[in-house]
Amino acid sequence: MAKSSLPSVDQLTRALEITRQIEKLESELASILGGDFKAVKKLAKSEKVTPTGRKKRTMSPEAKEKIAAAQRLRWSKQKKADKKA
C-alpha cells in the first residue's frame, strides 16, 4: 500500500499554527529592531551552535596538523617502547 504524499488535516492545522507563531515572533522582532531583522537572521544562521547551546569551535588546518604530528610522535615512542620490552 503506497503512502499518500498529501499532508493530513492534522498536519496542515499544525503547520498553520506554526506559521502564525512565526509571524507573531517576526512582528515582535520587527518592533524591537525597527523592522530590520535580516542581519539578526543572517547572524543566527552563521553561528554554529551545538545541542547544548554553546557555540561550536572550529580548528584551523595548521592546528589540526600540529595535533596530528604530536600524536604520531606519541605513537612512535610507544611502538619503540613495545619493541624494547
pLDDT of residue 85: 73
Residues 6+ apart with CB under 8 A from 56: 48, 49, 50
Whole-number Å distance between alpha carbons of 83 and 85: 6
Does residue 12 carry a pLDDT above 80? yes
pLDDT of residue 1: 44
47: DSSP letter: S
Percent of the chain with pLDDT over 90: 42
Specify whether the CB–CB gap between 48 and 56 falls below 8 A: yes
20-47 pLDDT tens trace = 999 998 888 778 877 666 666 666 666 6
Specify whether the CB–CB gap between 30 and 22 falls below 8 A: no
Residues 6+ apart with CB under 8 A from 7: 15
